[in-house]
Amino acid sequence: MRNLKVITAYRGTKYHGFQRQNNAITVQAVLEQKLSKVLNEPVTITGCSRTDTGVHANQFCFNVKTNSRISCLGFTRGVNGELPADISILSCEDAPPDFHARFDCKGKEYVYRIHCSESKNPFAEDLMFHYRRKLDLEAVRKAAGHFVGTHDFSSFCADCANVSTTVRTIYSFDIENSGDSVIMLVKGNGFLYNMIRIMVGTLIDVSEKRIAPDDIPQILEAKDRLRAGRTAMAHGLYLNRVFYDEAELL
């Protein structure tokens, strides 16, 4: 039996996240339906992560085991021919039998996109968070710097009940600005539920002077979700890259 490592991208607007659910359309459910048709056998895919309703992915990895002898190019072309326009297969390759998209993942990079303008961007309604003022980038960058390193991120988790540890390592938190567009790039070894969105929301509160940049260490130490800021909207968030080599994280 072959084990295929597949990279896909998707626009999450119409989906209730990646993971299969009862009575809801998800990215996983659509992929499994189309893969089963192309491979001519029922399959279950294993994703590298879960994404929430409305969250997008520039690069999402899953693996699938199959008896099919289809070439990787044939797989990519065949599945893309069946998928809706908002999901795309980017690549496919044969992986070792024990490769696991989730457990072998060493880290991820997320991007959060913000359109900072009084006027909305009609071309990015569901692809960027519309924030009707300019961000105080100096304050936001200073605050974001406190997230880098190994910390207990309990204060930045919406539901920590089902995780063995809330300690995570953030390798970088970069903020880029071009015109009305602000892009936040966060790279880490793992992320808690809603962690990115709460960090971004907290940085927005920093920009609004509700939270001081140097308050972030105390918020981390508090291990209390109520001490952190708002949860930013889902549609500005993208899973940007997944890493299977620790050297790529540094």
User: Catalytic site residues?
Assistant: 52
Hey, is 14 helix, strand or coil?
Answer: helix
Q: 247 to each of 98, 106, 208, how far by Cα in Å?
A: 21, 9, 37
Instruction: Give the β-pairing of 2-10 and 87-95.
Output: antiparallel
Instruction: Compute the distance between CA of residue 198 and CA of residue 160 in angstroms, rounded to an integer.
Output: 13
Instruction: Compute the distance between CA of residue 190 and CA of residue 17 in angstroms, rounded to an integer.
Output: 18
Instruction: Compute the distance between CA of residue 11 and CA of residue 13 in angstroms, rounded to an integer.
Output: 6
Instruction: Give the β-pairing of 2-10 and 56-66.
Output: antiparallel
For residues 55 and 234, the answer to whether their CB atoms sit within 8 Å is: yes
The DSSP line for 143-185 is HHHTTSEEEE-GGG-S--TT-S--EEEEEEEEEEEETTEEEEE
Instruction: Compute the distance between CA of residue 194 and CA of residue 128 in angstroms, rounded to an integer.
Output: 17
Q: Nearest 5°: phi and psi at 110? A: -110, 150
The packing angle between helices 137-145 and 195-207, to 10°, is: 140
